[in-house]
């Protein structure tokens, strides 16, 4: 069974990441880059930087931002503030 992302699907970035596999989100325009950030001697922290295409261009999003799929791999982003 093929999963289809319906136009109008709305959730936070975190909810999309928990629901769909990263590969599926990348197929729908997401860009996920991982950065390893040193914390203290011998310990590191992996941080994922996520951006999505909007009608204005690629936009970096936070986990709390509300995303809406508008079709053709384009997303609408509403800030969490």
Counting residues of the chain whose pLDDT is more than 90, the rounded percentage is 73
| More confident of the two residues 41 and 58 | 58
12 vs 42, higher pLDDT: 12
| pLDDT on residue 6 | 93
pLDDT given at position 47: 87
pTM: 0.84
Q: According to the model, what pLDDT value does residue 1 have?
A: 61
Q: How far is CA 14 from CA 44, 50, 64, 66, in A?
A: 22, 10, 7, 9
pLDDT score of 2 = 74
């Amino acid at each position: 069974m093929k999963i289809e992302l319906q136009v109008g699907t709305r959730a936070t970035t975190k909810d999309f990441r928990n629901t769909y596999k990263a590969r599926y989100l990348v197929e729908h325009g997401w860009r996920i880059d991982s950065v390893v950030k040193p914390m203290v001697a011998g310990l590191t922290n992996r941080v994922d930087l996520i951006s999505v295409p909007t009608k204005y261009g690629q936009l970096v999003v936070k986990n709390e931002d509300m995303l809406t799929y508008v079709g053709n791999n384009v997303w609408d982003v509403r800030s969490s503030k």
